[in-house]
Amino acid sequence: MTLRVTRISATADLLGESPVWDSERQLLYWVDGVSRRVHAYRPASGATRDWQVPSIIGSIGLGSGDTLVAGLADGVYSLDLGSGAARPLFRPAPADPRVRFNDGKMDRQGRFLCGSMGVHADPLGQLHRIEASGASIVLARDIRISNTLCFSPNGDTMYFADSLERKIRAYRYGPGDEVAAEPSILVDTGQYNSASDGATVDAEGCLWVALIQIGRLRASRRAVSSTA
């Protein structure tokens, strides 16, 4: 495999995360969490656009119509790309200022999974799955920093990490409410002297992971099967 790396942003982000490709609109979205902005880039023309959001933003996913789903500091919101308005879909009650939302991804059924984290890396975070109606369930608890969330191509395996554990978990995953209670450990990133941050899976099922503390990307050399 030959990798080609291209810089697409004219200015550096303070905290660039959560790239999402919209194949219908041919747009690449991502967020600058600290600057509280969502960016869009059209490769065909080089055109860019951005939206300001009301708080720190950790992740986005494609929503219905002209919207994105966004994990903001206090919950999950629908971001209207026409007006720029953010409407709450899910906010835990009672609100806890010690916790904020971070990494998130859409599953193959169109549900948004978003993990929260302790603001000071305390084990207060949870991994939530939110339906379009706003209904939610908790899939994991006692998380310090939620990250590395993604799915196998057919959606039967979910990958997730509490970054400070330096272990990437693999869960059996399905279209219903079932999630394996005990995940397997897919990768121990301690061998690379780093925690894992953002991750994705390519068309061949290979897992790509950003190793935040050493500033590198690593990928599995062969397809990752559902073994959780």
Instruction: Report pLDDT for 225.
Output: 54
**Distance between CA atoms of residues 145 and 101, nearest Å:** 9
Task: Report pLDDT digits (tens) over 148-207.
Answer: 999 999 999 999 999 999 999 999 998 887 676 789 999 999 999 999 999 999 988 999
Q: Cα angle at 184 between 108 and 193, to 5 degrees?
A: 100
Give the predicted TM-score (pTM) of the model.
0.93
Q: Which residues pair with 128 in a beta bridge?
A: 114, 138
Domain boundaries, the chain: 121-228
**Distance between CA atoms of residues 70 and 104, nearest Å:** 8
Instruction: Report pLDDT for 138.
Output: 94
Task: Report pLDDT digits (tens) over 190-203.
Answer: 999 999 999 999 98
Instruction: Report pLDDT for 118.
Output: 97
Domain made up of 121-228: CATH architecture: 6 Propeller (2.120)
Residue 166 vs residues 46, 59, 82, 185, 199: alpha-carbon distances, Å: 37, 21, 40, 10, 14
Q: Which residues pair with 158 in a beta bridge?
A: 151, 171
Instruction: Report pLDDT for 228.
Output: 41
Is 121 buried (19+), middle (13-18) or exposed (0-12) by CB count in 10 A? middle
CA 212 to chain centre: 15
Instruction: Report pLDDT for 222.
Output: 59
pLDDT beneath 70, residues of the chain = 1, 178, 180, 221-228
Instruction: Report pLDDT for 184.
Output: 93
